[in-house]
Amino acid sequence: MTYEAVIGLEVHAQMLTDSKMFCGCSTRFGSEPNTQTCQICIGMPGVLPAINKKAIEFTIKTGLAMNCTISSYSRFARKNYFYPDLPKGYQISQYELPLCEHGYVDIIIGGIEKRIGLTRIHLEEDAGKNIHEGAGNHSFVDLNRAGVPLMEIVSEPDIRTPSEASEYMKKLRTILRYLGVCDGNMEEGSLRCDANVSIRPVGSGELGVKVEMKNINSFRFVEKALEYEIKRQIRTLEESGTIVQETRLWDPSTGTTQSMRSKEEAHDYRYFPEPDLVPVMPDKKWIDEIKAFLPELPDKKRARFNSEYALPEYDADLLTSEKTTADWFEQAVKAGAHPKTVSNWMMGELMRLINEENKSIEECPLKPHQLAEMIKLITKGIISGKIAKTVFDEMYKTGKDAEAIVKEKGLTQISDTGSLEKTVDEIISKHPGEVNRFKAGDEKLLGFFVGQVMKATKGKANPQLANELLKKRLVS
């Protein structure tokens, strides 16, 4: 029997609002515990929450970017459960009337586009954080995160493989970052994912019993956790066992999942409409306004990079994965450099250097117009492509312009015949053996001679000219 996996993800995205979902407390990450709290977010009795309009706007923005219908009437609901990091004893969430529904995002998998449906995007507040380290036999509770606005993006069970799941996650992250509604930082927990998975015989139209996995905080772990879980489920069925509906915890240190609670132990959240908040009824005018200010989204930008700049799919995909990278590219092209050449330098040297230093492209000391000027020096024949690598490194290190570096270091390409002829003659007289072999027909040796000329001139010789001069001398 061959099985296929059926996967649906529930992704939580912390929103980049300055203040919390229902109070004015700051959402800043990394502050001293319990310094960003008030009566509302620590759940004192008798206080009233008020809705953060920015959080509604961000969710509508996301819903529109992900092709959802924006509900004209949506409502908050109380999700009741007891846990130390949840001071009110309930989380304000949305249940039967979410803000966004019926959307989709497209991913590319093995060169083919695949559409993943979105069931809904709803709004909720985050819980606090339990801290066990350094607390001895006790636990600490930090409520700075309690009440921070979250979006929950729920997919349809349209995903079939672990790699589709991580591609989908990456796509969500890219869109959220383009929109500026979430920083997508998975290590800090601003983007988290619960993965639901079941298996079924290939060809079956029915859904199997699903298992939900919690605690997944990287793209690699999404894949690893799903791979493990799919294998575990297949093994269970093949050993004539049954799969039980349960919640399992992914443990990255062992690469396995452990049962947390079964269906019988599942919480009954006793959802009911939040009586302290008015319904959310965004009018058409507001939605249209938000729509009008949406940035060009990754899919569109990728297609445009492909057609407008004649970039290969691969380049277009990589350069548009972050809006800041795409902007950097376009600025360099605007400054007059050839698009594919800019792309090559960016995907090669630039990415290598900024990755080495763990920098983002905004922090790159080298500016787009500087790369463009350097490329122009190559086009004009003032520096060779090889020397350009040295110039590039130096520009990156010092922030100086290419022209200044070339002057300072005397890196101008040797393109005048007179001075290069001298070097060519010297090389030829130093290697009589190779000359004879060349003359006897071993033409591959031309490369050897060009190499010697480049070495003697420390890479400054114009390679084409060196080639020509060598050929002239060697065949005469």
CB–CB of 29/214 below 8 Å? no
Using DSSP's 3-state secondary structure scheme, residue 120 falls into strand
**Considering the rule CB under 5 A, would residue 23 count as an interface residue with Zn ion?**
yes
**Considering the rule CB under 5 A, would residue 41 count as an interface residue with Zn ion?**
yes
d(CA 57, CA 83) in angstroms, rounded, equals 30
**Considering the rule CB under 5 A, would residue 371 count as an interface residue with Zn ion?**
no
d(CA 476, CA 473) in angstroms, rounded, equals 5
Q: Six-digit token pair at 116? A: 């993943």
Q: Six-digit token pair at 158? A: 């349209």
Which of Zn ion, ligand ADP, none interacts with 151 (beta carbon under 5 to 8 A by kind)? Answer: none
Signed CA dihedral, 154, 157, 158, 160: sign only: positive
Min CB(85)–ligand ADP separation in Å: 20
Cα-Cα-Cα-Cα torsion 334, 335, 336, 338, nearest 10 degrees, comes to: -70
Which of ligand ADP, Zn ion, none interacts with 8 (beta carbon under 5 to 8 A by kind)? Answer: ligand ADP
Taking CB atoms, the residue at the shortest distance from ligand ADP is 8
Of the pair 144, 321, the CB lying nearest Zn ion is at 144
Min CB(156)–ligand ADP separation in Å: 5
Return the range that interacts with Zn ion (CB under 5 A); candidates 22-30, 200-208, 237-245, 396-404. 22-30
Min CB(396)–ligand ADP separation in Å: 44
Place of tokens 């989908």: 168
Signed CA dihedral, 336, 338, 341, 343: sign only: positive
Identity of residue 61: K
Min CB(230)–ligand ADP separation in Å: 11
Of the pair 25, 175, the CB lying nearest Zn ion is at 25
Among 5, 9, 15, 25, binds Zn ion (CB under 5 A): 25
Instruction: Please compute Rg for the chain using Cα positions.
Output: 30
Of the pair 27, 413, the CB lying nearest Zn ion is at 27
Which of Zn ion, ligand ADP, none interacts with 92 (beta carbon under 5 to 8 A by kind)? Answer: none
Which of ligand ADP, Zn ion, none interacts with 155 (beta carbon under 5 to 8 A by kind)? Answer: ligand ADP
Q: CA 33: distance to chain centroid?
A: 29
Residues that bind ligand ADP (CB under 6 A): 6-10, 154-157, 196-198, 207-208, 210
Among 3, 4, 19, 38, binds Zn ion (CB under 5 A): 38
Min CB(383)–ligand ADP separation in Å: 54
Q: Which residues are registered as beta bridge partners of 25?
A: none
Burial class (CB within 10 angstroms; exposed 0-12, middle 13-18, buried 19+) of 365: middle
> Residue numbers of the site for Zn ion (CB under 5 A)?
23, 25, 38, 40-41
